Amino acid sequence: MEPDTNKKATRGRPVCELKQAEQRTKLILAAKQLLNTKSYSQITIRDIASEASINSAMIKYYFGSKENLFVELIQTIADEQFSQFEGLTEQSQPVYQFILRFGEILQTHPGIVHLLSEEVLNKTTPLAQAFMASFPARVSKFLPLLIQKETGSEDHKKAKLAAFQLITLVVSPYILKTLRQQAWQIDDSEIQGEAWAKDLYQHFIYGLKESDINEVGS
């Protein structure tokens, strides 16, 4: 009877596809959990394996590296969260809904903010590129269209610049957390929820009206 070479080739590795999928998911969730409390550079492969209760060798087996694991984490979060923006053009106030929902993503996924401020800005690593493709690039495609729909503007270039200004207003309080809290004494509760979203929305939308803009400097 010939030996089963397939079993030898996979010794130490889960053979069942369901088991493999389960372990991949556990590792991704462990990385997400750790990123909520630690910076990317502080997280080690051992940390992730320990959090997931899985052999650290499985990270290399499934993902190849810690960076690739976090790339997949970014893509997973983006795919889960951006589905809620589908159909916003049918809402009566799509820009307000965007501000509210994107703010909720930042509140419930602090790890995303950590990655953006520490590993993405001014960097060109595969991790930074994956983040750009998964979040800012996606927003840049649909947010100008929401602005055009709500304001009635036909100028796509103007809408694109306005969209960039808006996403900066939404994200910057989280990126500048230390400055916001220490210099301005603005805590997290003041930049969350419907009250904050409505205030930001009103300042932004009314600032885009041609009649108001033409009065500036006159």
pLDDT confidence of 218, banded at 50, 70, 90?
Answer: very low
pLDDT confidence of 216, banded at 50, 70, 90?
Answer: very low
Q: 70-210: which CATH topology?
A: Tetracycline Repressor; domain 2 (1.10.357)
| pLDDT mean over 104-114 | 94
CATH code of the domain occupying 13-64 = 1.10.10.60
| pLDDT mean over 20-30 | 96
Cβ–Cβ under 8 Å, residues 28 and 76: yes
Q: What's the pLDDT tens digit per position in 1-22?
A: 444 444 444 445 556 888 899 9
Task: Tell me what pLDDT residue 206 has.
Answer: 83
Task: Tell me what pLDDT residue 208 has.
Answer: 60
Task: Tell me what pLDDT residue 17 has.
Answer: 86
For the chain, the residue count is 218
Task: Tell me what pLDDT residue 13 has.
Answer: 59
Task: Tell me what pLDDT residue 170 has.
Answer: 96
Task: Tell me what pLDDT residue 16 has.
Answer: 84
| pLDDT mean over 58-81 | 96
Q: What's the pLDDT tens digit per position in 149-205?
A: 999 989 999 999 999 999 999 999 999 999 999 999 999 999 999 999 999 999 998
Task: Tell me what pLDDT residue 87 has.
Answer: 86
Q: Where are the domains of the chain?
A: 13-64, 70-210
Q: Which of 89, 120, 113 is nearest to 170 (CA)?
A: 113
Task: Tell me what pLDDT residue 212 has.
Answer: 47
Q: For the whole prediction, is pTM greater than 0.75?
A: yes
Task: Tell me what pLDDT residue 106 has.
Answer: 95
Q: What's the pLDDT tens digit per position in 117-154?
A: 999 998 999 999 999 999 999 999 999 999 999 999 89
| pLDDT mean over 58-67 | 96
Distance (Å) of CA 193 to CA 1, 101, 218? 68, 9, 36
